[in-house]
Structure 1
Amino acid sequence: MLAIQFDHFGGPEVLRPVELAPPVPGPGELLITVEAAGVNFADTHQTDGSYLGADALPHVPGSEVVGRTPDGRRVLARVSHGYAEQVTAKESAVVEIPEDLDAARALALMVQGLTAWHLLRSSARLRRGESVVVHSAAGGVGSLAVQLAREFGAGRVLAQVSGPAKERLVLDLGADAVITYPLAEKADVVLDAVGGELFDQALDSLASFGRLVTYGNSARAGFTPVDPARLGRLNASVVGFWLRPTLAAPDAVAGPLKELLALVAEGRLTPVTGGSYPLAEAGRAHEDLLARRTTGKLILTP
């Protein structure tokens, strides 16, 4: 079968198509023929070796697929090596999805959707009426966080984007305004996957008892030291979030995913879909993602 693999760390150029033997499901696992594999920013960190959880080499990246089981069910699944024509998944990590649900929209709900849900509910503990700033608001997580913040009762939802072409998208998704720093008014919650200078500006923009949730470092900047005395003066907090360990927590997946699927079915949540790339061109998908030429969910199709 065709798969995408890298045998040393680097940029998108290290991703190469290879022929591998089809995987064999173990006890409690299912074989899935892949319809589409999701592309996530974390995949670029895996590829360049900067991911929090290092993987052994050679490695096939990819953490989510839509596909079919041998008995014909169409499913959304969490996996370990998704950039392939066939994968295995634990039965507990598989959710059956409707035939009419677009694969890219379904995939947007797994990593990006669960991340956005937990950022607002579990990490920020958003309260009704609070203001929320979403960095990278046109991206996969950001575009869902903008909508979910509104759905969860935020008073104002403010969006930060990387260019004017993305401003209309986030406003159409429900953002009240597009912002630049310094903010005209302090924010209760800031969701940041960028890091670097933007993290520092956001920290100074928090209201009293505000929460800055950091869940990535797409700027590839060095880690920003956080002085406890500074937090004391701001009367604010910094909260870290990583989806991988969250997925192992009780009730962290099934309930939130059921809620997200219901919101999509009711037309109250619209996952933004981006480009679709042939599986063999995974490197090009990573190039476009890193260059910020994309919006919403990217997928690879065998």
Structure 2
Amino acid sequence: MRAVQVTEFGGPEVLKPVELPDPVAGPGQVLIEVDRVGLNYADTHQAENSYLAPSKLPLVPGGEVVGRTADGKRVVALLNDGGGYAERVAADEAMTFPVPDGVDDLNALSMLVQGATAWIMLRKNAHLEPGESVVVHAAAGGVGSIAVQLANAWGAGRVIATASSEEKRALAIELGADVAVDSRAENMTEVLREANDGKRVDVVLDMVGGPTTDQSIAALAPFGRLVFYGMAGRRSPKPIELRNLLGHSTTVAGMWLPHVFRLPGNVFGTALSELFAMVQDGKLRAIAGGEYALADARKAHEALRSRGTTGKLLLDPRR
């Protein structure tokens, strides 16, 4: 089968189209003929071995696919050890979920990781309450574009989006943000307060890192919460002093999706079911960020790393 493999860690240049043997489904697994592969920013970290979970070579990247099982059922699947950039995958049955009618490939893959990430951050980390202000950094991205819609649907008092271009800021407004500001602002603390009518903000969803995180924490109101779920800027924030959290009654939380599966109950399944239902009802939609041939995975990673993309990027393993 055709696949994309990494045999040395690095940037997009290490993604090489190859021919590999078809996977064999083991006990508790199901074989899936892949229709689309979902790309995540985490894939770029996986390729350079800078992700939270260490990568091992040789590596076929990719943690999410949508396709059909041998009996024709349409499913999405999370892949614990990668392998998604390929024509076929063997996925754990426990991590494979049916796709309901009315949910296309784009929305199915967008809700699987990005949608679930936004849902869990707002529900479990931030415990969003109606009327609270919400800042969504990278609001035109995969997670951000869904988070804007969810915050709006769940009664946020003011949704503040940040994005790097006028086009992206216009998209955020279209999706339900009340105001959109330039993510390249030198003083994000001041910009966020101004966007919130001069008041500190209640919730920040941050995947940028560096000064953006530092200045967003400084913009939090008492009992405000910042949820940190990535570091696209590849710069670490400053160390946080606990006395500063105490002095402002603020909370800084981290969120990594795999930890959700350790929670009691079926939190992930609940999130996915609710997200799919919202898509079916026309209350939530994914933003198409571009579709690439499998052999062009390098170009897709270059686009992701440029931070110039919007919405969800896909690979088509059939071409």
Q: Name the amino acid aligned to 2:269.
A: A
Q: Structure 2: which 5+ residue stretches go unaligned? A: 183-187
Kindly provide the CA deviation profile for residues 30-65 of structure 1, in whole angstroms up to 9, marking residues without a partner as x: 000000000000000111111000021111111110
Residue 275 of structure 1: aligned partner: 290
Paired with 2:148 and 2:21, the residues of 1 have a C-alpha distance of: 42
For residue 242 of structure 1, report the CA deviation from its aligned partner. Answer: 0.6
SS at match of 1:51: coil
For residue 224 of structure 1, report the CA deviation from its aligned partner. Answer: 2.2
For residue 248 of structure 1, report the CA deviation from its aligned partner. Answer: 3.8
Paired with 2:285 and 2:297, the residues of 1 have a C-alpha distance of: 25
Q: Name the amino acid aligned to 2:115.
A: G
Residue 14 of structure 2: aligned partner: 14
Q: Does 1:93 align with 2:95?
A: yes
Residue 60 of structure 1: aligned partner: 60
Residue 5 of structure 1: aligned partner: 5
Residue 44 of structure 1: aligned partner: 44
User: Superposition pairs for residues 74-85 of structure 1, below 5 Å?
Assistant: 74-79=74-79, 80-85=82-87
SS at match of 1:253: helix
Residue 29 of structure 1: aligned partner: 29
Q: Name the amino acid aligned to 1:269.
A: L
Paired with 1:233 and 1:163, the residues of 2 have a C-alpha distance of: 35
Q: Name the amino acid aligned to 2:158.
A: R
Residue 177 of structure 1: aligned partner: 179
Paired with 1:176 and 1:71, the residues of 2 have a C-alpha distance of: 46
User: Superposition pairs for residues 216-295 of structure 1, below 5 Å?
Assistant: 216-249=230-263, 250-295=265-310
For residue 11 of structure 1, report the CA deviation from its aligned partner. Answer: 0.4
Q: Name the amino acid aligned to 1:153.
A: G
Paired with 2:297 and 2:22, the residues of 1 have a C-alpha distance of: 19
For the aligned residue pairs, the C-alpha RMSD in angstroms reads 1.2
SS at match of 1:286: helix
Question: 1:296 aligned to 311, 315, 318, which one?
Answer: 311
Q: Which stretch has the larger CA shift, 132-141 or 286-295?
A: 286-295
**Identical amino acids, percent of aligned pairs:** 50
2:151 and 2:159 in contact (8 A); partners too:
yes
Kindly provide the CA deviation profile for residues 124-162 of structure 1, in whole angstroms up to 9, marking residues without a partner as x: 111111110000000000000001011222111110111
Q: Structure 1: which 5+ residue stretches go unaligned? A: none
SS at match of 2:21: coil
Q: Does 1:152 align with 2:154?
A: yes
Paired with 2:99 and 2:244, the residues of 1 have a C-alpha distance of: 47
1:204 and 1:234 in contact (8 A); partners too:
no
Paired with 2:101 and 2:67, the residues of 1 have a C-alpha distance of: 11
Q: Does 1:69 align with 2:69?
A: yes
SS at match of 2:34: strand
For residue 294 of structure 1, report the CA deviation from its aligned partner. Answer: 1.1
1:74 and 1:99 in contact (8 A); partners too:
no
Residue 109 of structure 1: aligned partner: 111
Residue 118 of structure 1: aligned partner: 120
TM-score (norm 2): 0.92
For residue 99 of structure 1, report the CA deviation from its aligned partner. Answer: 5.4
Paired with 1:281 and 1:235, the residues of 2 have a C-alpha distance of: 47
TM-score (norm 1): 0.97
The runs of at least 4 consecutive aligned structure 1 residues that moved more than 3 Å come to none
